[in-house]
Amino acid sequence: MKRANRLTDLPPYPFARWAAEVNAARDQGLDVIRMDIGSPDLPPEDDVVEALYKSARQPDSHGYPGYRGIPELRQAVADYYGRRFGVELDADTQVVPLIGSKEGIVNLALACLDPGDLALVPDPGYAPYTMGAGLAGGEVVTFPLLAENDFLPDLDAIPADVADRAVLMWLNYPNNPTGAIAGLDFFARAVDFAREHDILLCHDAPYCDVTYGDYVAPSLLQVPGAEEVAIEFNSLSKTANMAGWRMGMAVGNAEALAALAQIKSNFDSGIFRPLQEAAARALAADPEWLAARNAIYAERVDVILETLTEVGMAAVRPRAALYVWAKVPAGWTSEGFAQGLLRQTGVAVAPGPFFGAAGEGYVRLSITAPTERVREAMARLSQFVLEQ
Ligand SMILES: Cc1ncc(COP(=O)(O)O)c(C=O)c1O
């Protein structure tokens, strides 16, 4: 079989490669605890599953669902943005439902980048920002997210000629993998930066409702005028424990969304109607359900931080998202540590470089295993580190 040249520049998705390591550990008889991927272990709200079932029972639910999402779902997204952020969206032109936000992130690159066009991407960052730009033949320039800057980019450090050439810029807060957060003041500066350099600012916010304590994450679209230069990606994967359902959305700048929808109409044929109806229900989640779910995550964060502190692995307490970003002990590379931990104890964590070169020296621990399993994993990690 001939393999297209673009595959040469598109390495296997890091987690697809890592899955082989995890399976090998399992095949060796290890009791594997997966704290490497951010796939919520808890189910969605009962009413959401009911809505799916009810719609699937309707004889007219099974045809092609249309390209731009059913009006009820687009309106539910607009209502959610209004209620949650005070952001007004036109449901017809400013909302595009996605088959998971990853799909939209990659297709947006195809919609906006010609070969040689430049995309600004955070390092560390979610891999599809880079992969999407690569698929489009674009050039990726990374900007570092450093601990000393609270994992926010230093916009002034991006050279003006690079910024002027950039077509797209990606931001992601609450952040994967660092767990960092950004305030509206930073978002306002990013909007100014995008306007000054004529960049489409793409903010990826799938963790905006996975928050701890009294922290409430803002939308970048809360910045006045942001929709003139920005779109925001969101998802029900983490907010509503629906990662396997593949349900996301892009909102904001109507022109960029029209371009995305045009690409999508050539790739996919919409989302199964019952999924869309259930998603509309999930967007109206009971705040108490969300708070109870987030309290379970918060307990897991506590368990992890307690252990990391005991074994001397530095990590900042996240105020949002599903991850603890921890320094590996001295003398280890990220992948060496993650591999050693997996092969000896069955505990899977993600090596930092999966998210970019600046991730070297870190591992990402995901809090999406049941709490008792997180406790067990931390007992094993503690023994592993202290025995070295
Ligand atoms: C930052 C970020 N964006 C997007 C996604 C993709 O989410 P979805 O399941 O909606 O494709 C993830 C998933 O882990 C993520 O971490």
Q: pLDDT of 217-259, one tens digit each?
A: 999 999 999 999 999 999 999 999 999 999 999 999 999 999 9
Q: Is pLDDT of 9 > 80?
A: no
Ligand 1 pocket (Cβ < 6 Å) reads 38, 100-102, 126, 172, 176, 204, 206, 235, 237, 243, 248
Question: Max alpha carbon distance in the chain (Å)?
Answer: 61
Matching residue, tokens 């600004």: 120
* pLDDT at residue 219 in the model: 98
Decide: 301 and 315 in contact? Cβ < 8 Å.
Answer: no
Q: In sequence order, which residues have a C-beta less than 8 Å from that of residue 4 and are 6 or more positions away? A: none
Beta bridge partners of 83: none
Rounded distance from Cα 101 to ligand 1 centre (Å): 6
Beta bridge partners of 250: 96, 233
**Cα 383 to ligand 1 centre (Å):** 32
The rounded mean pLDDT for the chain is 96
What CA–CA distance (Å, rounded) separates 368 from 361? 22
Q: What mean pLDDT do residues 283-292 have?
A: 94
Span from the CA of 118 to the centroid of ligand 1 (angstroms): 22
Alpha helices (H) in 44-180, listed in sequence order: 46-56, 71-85, 101-112, 128-135, 160-165
Q: Of 176, 208, 354, which is best to mutate to test ligand 1, by the most ligand atoms within 8 angstroms of its C-beta?
A: 176
pLDDT of residue 388: 84
Q: What is the pLDDT of residue 285?
A: 87
Confidence of residue 60 (pLDDT cuts 50, 70, 90): very high
Average pLDDT over residues 294-307: 98
How far does residue 102's CA lie from ligand 1's centre (Å)? 6
Sign of the dihedral through C-alpha 66, 71, 76, 82: positive
Expressed in angstroms and rounded, the spacing between residue 237 Cα and the centre of ligand 1 is 7
> Which atom of ligand 1 has the smallest separation from the CA of 247?
10
- What is the model's pLDDT at position 177? 97
Residue 205's alpha-carbon distances to 83, 211, 336, in angstroms, are 16, 12, 31
From CA 179, how far away is CA 182, in angstroms rounded? Answer: 10
The model carries a pTM of: 0.96
Q: Residues 83-94: pLDDT tens digits?
A: 999 999 999 999
Residue 201 pLDDT > 80: yes
Classify residue 188 as exposed, middle or buried by CB count within 10 Å of its CB (0-12, 13-18, 19+): middle
* 39 burial type by CB count under 10 A (0-12 exposed, 13-18 middle, 19+ buried): middle
Above 90 in pLDDT, residue 301? yes
> Can you say how many angstroms the Cα of residue 163 is from the centroid of all Cα atoms in its chain?
24
Distance, in Å, from the CA atom of 121 to the CA atom of 117, rounded to the nearest integer, reads 13
Query: Is the per-residue pLDDT at 63 higher than 90?
Result: yes
Quick: pLDDT tens for 116-164: 999 999 999 999 999 999 999 999 999 999 999 999 999 999 999 999 9
Nearest-angstrom CA–CA distance, 144 and 149: 10
* pLDDT grade for 383, boundaries at 50, 70 and 90: very high
User: Which pLDDT band, with edges at 50, 70 and 90, does 30 fall under?
Assistant: very high
Q: How confident is the model at residue 12 (pLDDT cuts 50, 70, 90)?
A: confident
pLDDT (mean) for 288-316: 96
**Cα–ligand 1 centroid distance for 162 (angstroms):** 27
Residue nearest to atom 16 of ligand 1 (CA): 176
How far out from the chain centre does Cα 338 lie?
A: 21
37 CA: nearest ligand 1 atom: 14
Answer for the pair 105, 131: CB distance below 8 angstroms, yes or no: no
Whether the CB-CB separation of 370 and 298 falls below 8 Å is answered with no
Give the pLDDT score at 14: 82
Residue 11: its pLDDT value, please?
Answer: 76
Query: Which pLDDT score is estimated for 199?
Result: 98
Pocket test for ligand 1, best of 210, 233, 238 (most atoms within 8 A of CB): 238
